[in-house]
Each structure stands twice: as C-alpha cells, then as structure tokens.
Amino acid sequence: MSVAQALREAAARLETISGTPRLDAELLLAHALGTGRDDLLMRQRDLSVPPGFAALLERRLKGEPIAYITGFRDFWTISLAVTPDVLIPRPDSETLIEAAVDHFGARAPGRILDLGTGSGALLLAALSQWPRARGLGVDLSPAALAVARGNAERLELADRADFRVADWAEGIEGPFDLILVNPPYIARDAALSGDVLHEPESALFSGRDGLDDYRRIAPMLPRLIAPGGMAAIEIGHDQGESVSALLANQGFSVSLRHDLAGHDRCLVATPVRPA
C-alpha cells in the first residue's frame, strides 16, 4: 500500500472518532516513520508504510489521544513531551501567554509562577518568550513535575526553571511579576467525551460547580503579585462572571479575554492601585 492510500484509508476510519481525521492520520504515520509531518507530506512518494502504523492507528481508533500516542504536543513556540500523567497542552491555553505579552509590552516579567504546571507548558512557553526571566512551576503531582523537568531540560531552559511539589501556592513566597494559572475547572457531574476521558481526573474536576480550586487560589494571589504584575487565569467558557467575582473580592481589577473560537478563556487580574 502506498503512503497516499494509507493516509486516505486511515482518515476514512478515523472520521467516526476524530474531528481532524486526516491530520491524525498524517501525525500517526509520520510518528511511525520517525519523521515530521512536513517531511512526510513532501516525501510521501518515496516512503513506505511501516508495519507499526497499523498498531498506532488502532490505538487512536480506541480513543487514545494523538499526543499520548506520539508523546509530544506543540504549544506556543515550543514542543513538549506529554504522558498520561499530565493534561495535553491545548491552543486555547495559549490565550494566557498572549494576555501576558500584551500586558508587558516592551517590558518583560522577571519572575514567573506557574500554578498547576503539569507538563510545564505555560511556564516554559513564557521562559522561551522572555529569555531573561526565571520561573517556578508548582504541582501537587510528582509524576507531572517529572514530565515538566524533562521538558525544561530538553528545551535547555532548566537553568531558569525550578519546580516544586506544593498544594497551589501554599508555602510559596513572592513577589512574582507574572502568575499563570490553569486549574481544574470541570464540574464533577459534567458529561465528557473525547481526549479528556484519557486525561488525569485530578487535573480536570473541581467540585460540584467546577469552582473549588478558584476559591482556594484567589485569596493566595494578592500576596504573590508584584506591583505592575498580573495573573493570567484560564477558565471554562461559562465561568467568567463567577471567577471574576472571586478575584474582585480579593481587590483585583479583572478583564476577560477570548480564545480563537471566541469563547471566554482567560481572566487577567491586576492589583488595584491605591487612591
């Protein structure tokens, strides 16, 4: 079977479980070949379908996320290793980095805190954006922190990135110019489908209404943010009003940013200057 035929047949089979069947097929075949997707598409007439492709396709047909099968996911300007111990970085979360870039403009944050760092996606993206910044990634999961440390080393950012096991910001001392927060925010009884069915529950669910972790984090932020700094906080599409109220009660000015699909995605919290 030619590469072109294999891609067509795989994409047709994947239509039942994926919104991007052709892309999935290309990523899986490129991974099986040990090459990149661009190289696969440019050289497909010269390549042969490797025996391992069928097994990868079967894993995807059973619902396993592409990122867990290939072990990598691109995010912002970097590529991250991912495992089932961490959430898969998503383009929606890049909204937090975009908000920080807009906030600091020609300036740069010197010290960055990433609460719930997981794979290290937000922290390492920020450190790649600002080469003189240093950062701390916090997570309650030692397994997740092992993934984050590995990513920092592979991206040659380990000299500027520290990681620590902690329950949110308990025991963390500021101030930080930029705080990035992507907590669990799905309600416990929410119906889920797709990739999230394979991701760690501890990184997804946050109580009956999805707000339990925001309630814990919001009171921690005032002591951590430096003057002129900000917190960028990811939210669910229907949580803008409720989380904004939690932040406003802690003395923050809050603004909302949307992701590329137009959904509420990020709250920017800045300390209110005294009159």
Burial of 262 from C-beta contacts in 10 A (0-12 / 13-18 / 19+): exposed
Q: Domain spans of the chain?
A: 3-63, 72-271
Of 197, 180, 166, whose CA–CA distance to 88 is shortest? 197
DSSP secondary structure code for residue 110 in this structure: S
Give me 9's structure tokens: 């047949």
User: 160: which residues sit within 8 A by CB, 6+ positions away?
Assistant: 127, 133, 134, 135
3-63 shares its CATH topology with 72-271: no
Is 274's pLDDT higher than 60? Answer: no
Give me 75's structure tokens: 């995010």
Q: What is the pLDDT of residue 141?
A: 97
Which whole number is the average pLDDT over 234-262? 96
3-14 helix and 53-61 helix, angle to the nearest 10 degrees:
10
Cα diameter, the chain:
72
Q: What is the pLDDT of residue 139?
A: 98
Q: What is the residue-wise DSSP string for 34-68?
A: TS-HHHHHHHGGG----TTHHHHHHHHHTT--HHH
Q: What is the pLDDT of residue 192?
A: 84
Which whole number is the average pLDDT over 264-269? 98
Q: What is the pLDDT of residue 275?
A: 40
Q: What is the pLDDT of residue 7?
A: 97
Architecture of domain 3-63: Orthogonal Bundle (1.10)
- For residues 166 and 114, what is the distance between their CA atoms, to the nearest angstrom? 11
- For residues 216 and 235, what is the distance between their CA atoms, to the nearest angstrom? 14
Is 273's pLDDT higher than 70? Answer: no
**102 C-beta neighbours (distance < 10 Å), count:** 11
CA distances for 163 relative to 6, 104, 130, 180, 248, angstroms: 43, 24, 18, 14, 29
**8 Å CB contact between 223 and 240:** no
pLDDT band, residue 111 (cuts 50/70/90): very high
Superfamily the domain 72-271 falls into: Vaccinia Virus protein VP39 (3.40.50.150)
Judge if the upstream peptide bond of residue 175 is cis by omega within 30 degrees of 0. yes
Sign of the C-alpha dihedral computed for residues 170, 172, 175 and 181 taken in this order: negative
Strands 78-81, 111-115: pairing is unpaired
- For the chain, helix, strand, coil in percent to 5 are 40, 20, 40
**8 Å CB contact between 221 and 179:** yes
Counting residues of the chain whose pLDDT is more than 70, the rounded percentage is 99
**8 Å CB contact between 25 and 7:** yes
pLDDT tens digit sequence for 6-58: 999 999 999 999 999 999 999 999 999 999 999 999 999 999 999 999 999 99
pLDDT band, residue 272 (cuts 50/70/90): confident
pLDDT tens digit sequence for 126-177: 999 999 999 999 999 999 999 999 999 999 999 999 999 999 999 999 899 9
